[in-house]
Amino acid sequence: MTNPLLDFSALPHFDQVRPEHVAPAIDRLLDEARAAMRAAETVAPVDWDHFVTPFDDASERLSRAWNQVAHLNAVVNTPALREAYNAALPKLSQFGAEVSQNLALYRQYKRLAERLAESGDDAGYPPARRKIVENALRDFRLGGAELPEADKARFAAIKEELAQLAARFEQNLLDATDAYAHYVEDEAELAGLPDDVKAQCRAAAEKDGRAGYKLTLHMPVYLPVQNYCDNRALRETLYRAYATRASELGVAEFDNSEAIGRILALRAEMAGLLGFANYAEYSVATKMADTPDEVLGFLRDLARRARIHARQDRDELEAFAARELGLDTLESWDLGYVSEKLKEARYSFSEQEVKQYFTEPRVLAGLFDVIHALYGLRAEPDQAPVWHEDVRFYRLVDGEGRLVGQFYLDLYAREGKRGGAWMDDCRNRRELADGRVQTPITYLTCNFGRGHGGKPATFSHDEVITLFHEMGHGLHQLLTEVGELGVAGINGVEWDAVELPSQFMENFCWEWPRVEAMTAHVDSGEPLPRALFDKMLAAKNYQAGMITVRQLEFGLFDMELHSRFDAGGETVLQLLERIRDEVAVNRPPAWNRFPNAFSHVFAGGYAAGYYSYKWAEVLSADAYAAFEEAPADFAETGARFRREVLAVGGSRPAMDSFKAFRGRAPSIDALLRHSGMAG
């Protein structure tokens, strides 16, 4: 039987991959990668073609196959696939440890570095290759290559266990979310809930063979209930279920509490083995920020500026709730609902009204128009095997019709699909030995609601922003002009700079000509009225203070958790409450178990790095300000952003790329101005 995971001749065969393909494919590719590693340990001469390229070839095949497995596990999760994924995960972790701790490979890279020091750029070692060698030497040190043998074994065991814990954390959260259902038979209990959401809930109940409506914790249902449902008790019911997911207050088998403690202990131990005082120091070693204290200072300085605005937002909300809605207390399950009512009263529009204009076909066309205006590229429908009927595939071509890259688009929420939105790479750009260029391919994944009754899906403006955000990540990967895998696209980019291109794209969701072009009312086909957009613009910074301190709460919690937390002195929840004492204006109930669902930090790549969102927001706001300052030079500025930021990928430090684009170091002024907090 041909194994589709072993065919790298064309696009992935997502329609053919089965759980039983995983083990034989990964085992074979691991064997090939180990053979290439052994050959690299002694190869001479130690140059790019004889040392780096052969090992890259084997490593890339393994990475591409595993990326397919990991992606399918995230978007069409089944018990059999999960079992195959979990069985392979320790093997990948073990191989990663073998590479990162391989002293022979480390010595070979040192020899290569010595050759680079003696040669010039014209000797086959341009800046991209030099950066790869520099990163490799750093990563060997951070991977434990210099540790004593006993410590190496412990370090590898820690890495393997952490990978398994992260997978279990994410799976518990997915299972806890999918397992919950609340059925409502009387439509009157859903007063205020938008008709399209009710239709979705009715269809879900029918699928289960039940009368009435099925409410879940998936975002296309949960958020509308919180924001629009008049039934306070129902809002509380869903909020409680959502806020206690994967905790000791929910289904025992999905409880992440023990995993959190174990993850923190292992991270601290791993950092200690490498000589770091804490995991945060280890984490920032590969980031733009120099120290955890620098990050904490940045977050607290921004909190000082934002908290006065947040307190004002909260006071206004409480006054409105008491005066107009008869709510003497403002509970967590009231915040979204009251905020939406106040926005309607203040700006005379609702998000639900706006949502009717952002129909999926027009939004996608508008997104592709922005890409064309910025970079002269066209997104065109393409054909590829896919993992679900919802998935679409596109090609990105330049003005001469040359292929730049391709991307999958998976927009809708469904059972078995991880929540949230993300971009990941399927295949990276690479200049091959025969002179051909391997073009990049990415996944763009969201969790929006689908259309019903023959009508297209409609997106809230926040969802439109999310789509543009993920496309920004995708463009970072697709528009790279680097030919070496190690620093092509987002590879090698400091983690706290990765969000720059994504947050940069969000700004175009607020430009009137672009918004008008990407709207067509789901019933009438009319574009968004300018008067309604003006109201949206007036409300753009609505509750910006509260939103900012909430993000700062998460960032401070993450950084304190990995730098100063003492499990013997306080609990994780007590630390979170201490951070809230410092910055928060909205206090969740004591039974809220936010850490148990904080997958960015406990199952993603953001441990001691969640601050990156705010750090990069400074960069992105300042980058967009360049377009504001020279509106007549839009295409020229877009070409410069592509050339100096996107095209170079990780081949040079992110700060150098930003300065090359902007002509100076970043300033926080644009972020404060865009957020309405400049004063």
Q: Which residues are catalytic?
A: 470
Q: Exposed (0-12), middle (13-18) or buried (19+): which is 342, by Cβ within 10 Å? A: buried
The number of beta carbons lying within 10 Å of the beta carbon of residue 345 is 10
**Per-state percent for the chain, helix, strand, coil, to nearest 5:** 60, 5, 30
d(CA 655, CA 668): 14
Amino acid at 316: E
d(CA 350, CA 548): 22
User: Which CA distances in Å does 574 have to 62, 295, 331, 612?
Assistant: 42, 21, 20, 24
The token duo for 84 is 């195959």
Closest C-alpha among 295, 332, 338, 300 to residue 317: 338
φ, ψ (nearest 5 deg) of residue 443:
-105, 135
d(CA 39, CA 495): 32
Q: Give ∠ CA 359-364-365 in degrees, rounded to 5.
A: 100
d(CA 240, CA 252): 16
d(CA 536, CA 528): 11
d(CA 238, CA 659): 47
How many residues can be counted in the chain?
679
- Dump the DSSP string for 385-398: --SSTT-EEEEEE-
Closest C-alpha among 298, 300, 279 to residue 288: 298
The two most distant CA atoms of the chain are separated, in Å, by: 79
The number of beta carbons lying within 10 Å of the beta carbon of residue 620 is 27
Strands lying side by side in the sheet with 403-412: 378-381, 392-397, 403-412, 441-448, 422-427
The SS3 assignment for 345 reads helix
Closest C-alpha among 229, 224, 234, 242 to residue 180: 242
The token duo for 471 is 């496309």
Closest C-alpha among 465, 459, 442 to residue 370: 465
d(CA 499, CA 403): 25
